[in-house]
């Protein structure tokens, strides 16, 4: 369920304010409530293939090499490699989840120390890696 929510957010759904078991999907008719339990990314090619398409639209490509699924960037650098598992869908699902986790980390807002300017993406950072003091880390846009 947690991985399906991760995929749903990547695909543009938002979390429901009052119910952790629901997500909100914007449609042409308005907002639609989608039950997390009804999501089938983990079992259905019909649900998973649009996610593969979305990843490829962002400049990454899927390759299946002797049972492994890899995702490479436009420079041919492998960013995700999932070893052979139970079957085709399972391998792609695992690669998608790993990719989204990677992608979210790569695109996190960087935090900057208020005392010495050190930067990190670790939201729980308390001790500055540069000056070894307790610093407050803030988003530069704030």
CA angle, 101 then 53 then 81, to 5°? 45
In this prediction, residue 142 has a pLDDT band, given cuts at 50, 70 and 90, of very low
- Rounded alpha-carbon distances, angstroms, from residue 65 to 38, 83, 111: 32, 10, 38
- Residue 68 burial (CB count, 10 A): 15
In this prediction, residue 109 has a pLDDT band, given cuts at 50, 70 and 90, of low
**What gap in Å lies between CA 25 and CA 4, rounded to an integer?**
14
pLDDT at 138: 61
In this prediction, residue 83 has a pLDDT band, given cuts at 50, 70 and 90, of confident
Quote the tokens at residue 24. Answer: 């909100």
- Rounded alpha-carbon distances, angstroms, from residue 2 to 35, 38, 50, 142: 13, 13, 19, 30
pLDDT at 87: 65
Query: Mean pLDDT over all residues of the chain?
Result: 83
pTM: 0.72
In this prediction, residue 18 has a pLDDT band, given cuts at 50, 70 and 90, of confident
| 26-52 mean pLDDT | 94
Q: What is the domain partition of the chain in residue ranges?
A: 2-106, 109-142
Judge whether 121 and 108 are in contact, CB under 8 Å.
yes
Q: What is the pLDDT of residues 114-134, one digit of tens each?
A: 666 666 555 455 566 666 665
């Amino acid at each position: 369920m947690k991985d399906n929510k991760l995929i749903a957010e990547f695909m543009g759904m938002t979390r429901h304010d009052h119910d952790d078991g629901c997500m909100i999907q914007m449609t042409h008719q308005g907002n639609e409530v989608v039950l997390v339990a009804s999501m089938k990314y983990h079992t259905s090619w019909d649900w998973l293939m649009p996610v593969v398409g979305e990843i490829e639209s962002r400049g990454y490509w899927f390759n299946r090499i002797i049972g492994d699924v890899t995702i490479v960037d436009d420079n041919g650098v492998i960013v995700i490699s999932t070893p052979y598992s139970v079957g085709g869908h399972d391998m792609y699902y695992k690669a998608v989840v790993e990719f989204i986790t990677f992608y979210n980390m790569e695109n996190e807002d960087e935090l900057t120390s208020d005392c010495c300017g050190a930067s990190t993406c670790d939201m729980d950072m308390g001790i500055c890696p540069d000056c070894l003091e307790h610093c407050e880390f803030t988003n530069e846009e704030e």
